[in-house]
Chain A
Amino acid sequence: MARALGLANLLDHQVGGRRNLIINGAMQVAQRGTSSTDTSYQTVDRFHNLASTDGTITQSQTAISSGDPYNEGFRNVYRHTVTTASSSPASSHFLGVRYNFEAQDMAQSGWQYTSTSSSVTLSFWAKSNVAGTYVAGLRTNDSTPQNYTFKYTLTADTWKKVTHTFIGDSNITINNDTGVGLLLDIWLYLGGDYTTSGHTHDAWTTYSSSSQASDFAQNWMTTASATFDITGVQLELGETATPFEHRSYGEELALCQRYYEIVGMTVTTAGQFDNAVSYAVTKRATPTLSVFSGSLGTASVLAMPNNSVGQIRQQTNASNPSDVAIQANAEL
């Protein structure tokens, strides 16, 4: 019996194949930078924030050197910090961490998302210096969006391994395409415009912007120097939160580069020409191009023939011959 259990454990935890549907769940990769007061995609790859506040929030990839996640092999967290507290709390304020799953990855994951007998399980480490009850959940994007949120409680300055299992639902639609198929939201705060006291948690309901969760008792955004750390995010098939599937930095980087990559090009003093560069990883879609560092020559433009090649199309002589780093963004 013990041997059978050991084999089952081995199959589940060590050789069960790729389990984590999240890319960069250990917050290893941060191609764009490590700290920013801007919103959206700014630091750790694949994760971004959504914020509305009259204060200032800093998002960062922050190294950790101790604690329960550290003991499980994590070295970085996705941190949010209240740099300037909101002085006038408003019902329209919110702050959340979001991860967008590519639809085809979910459609082909093996989750029978329309069946109540099929499940996925979310797990992540969370810590804040503001104790309270927080909310996280999943939302679908195709057809009529469905929303499922659950509550969990944090003790101040104490790591918690949050886990929750989501069963399927007949109202869920996930297309087999390259768009957004599923969203993971970890809410640090939702103002009253987005909450209702009687919101139904722990069940799929038709998404409503004005009722995404029950009311928040604490207001993280009005707390000076408040912090909120997340790492070890995993979504996997089944009803059990298995140990985090650690992947190498190189493997995670390559997975991230399907959505964002920085490539180097050279602007010269020559006349009109095209300078093409192949991306390390073919992008999810034809990417948006912009300068990450350096500068383009006068009248130069960036072109994107397809999702595997980027290009500087120099129309006239460049005024600033230099190497330039281009960011190719095909994020969801």
Chain B
Amino acid sequence: MEVTNAKYINAATTDKIVAIHATVDGKETFVPLDPANTDYAEIMRQVEAGELTIEPADEPPTEGA
């Protein structure tokens, strides 16, 4: 599984990380943080092997003035 452009994404208005946004085998993909998900397990394996780095999530939008 070829994973590129991996980046954590957070919920719409909080800093809670909800998924990994990545290109998987050439396709824009959203991978949940679920160890039972085989894509997530493979991404974590690649991270641990030093083959992949996941960029941190953007700051959530600021509410109010």
Contact = CB atoms under 8 A, between A and B. Distances in A.
Contact of B37 (A38, A285, A301, A302): A285
B4 interface: no
B28 A290 contact: yes
A304 interface: yes
A178 B36 contact: yes
A331 B28 contact: no
A288 B12 contact: no
B11 to A, nearest CB: 8
A154 interface: no
Contact of B19 (A274, A291, A304): A304
User: What band does the interface of chain A fall in when counting residues whose beta carbon is under 8 Å from B?
Assistant: 20 to 34
Given A284-B36, A304-B19, A274 B12 contact: yes
Nearest to A313: B12
B30 A301 contact: yes
A315 interface: yes
B9 A301 contact: yes
Given A288-B39, A332-B38, A304 B29 contact: no
B29 A303 contact: no
Interface in A83-108: none
Contacts of A272: 12
B40 to A, nearest CB: 8
B37 A286 contact: yes
Given A303-B19, A315-B12, A288 B29 contact: yes
Given A272-B12, A303-B19, A313-B12, A288 B36 contact: no
Nearest to B40: A288
B6 interface: no
User: What band does the interface of chain B fall in when counting residues whose beta carbon is under 8 Å from A?
Assistant: 20 to 34
A304 B12 contact: no
A82 interface: no
A149 to B, nearest CB: 24
A167 interface: no
Nearest to B26: A38
A329 interface: yes
B28 A287 contact: no
A55 interface: no
Interface in A302-332: 302-304, 307, 313, 315, 329-332
A289 B30 contact: yes
Given A303-B18, A303-B30, A287 B37 contact: yes
Given A301-B9, A315-B12, A289 B29 contact: yes
Interface string B1-36: 000000001011000001101001101111110101
A286 B19 CA distance: 11
B36 A291 contact: no
6 contacts: A179-B36, A286-B36, A288-B24, A288-B32, A290-B28, A307-B34
Interface of B: 9, 11-12, 18-19, 21, 24-25, 27-32, 34, 36-40
Given A289-B30, A303-B18, A304-B18, 15 more contacts: A272-B12, A285-B34, A285-B36, A286-B32, A286-B36, A287-B32, A287-B37, A288-B30, A288-B31, A288-B37, A288-B39, A290-B27, A290-B28, A302-B19, A313-B12
10 closest A-B pairs by beta carbon, nearest first, are A285-B36, A286-B34, A286-B32, A302-B30, A290-B29, A288-B39, A304-B32, A289-B30, A285-B37, A288-B31
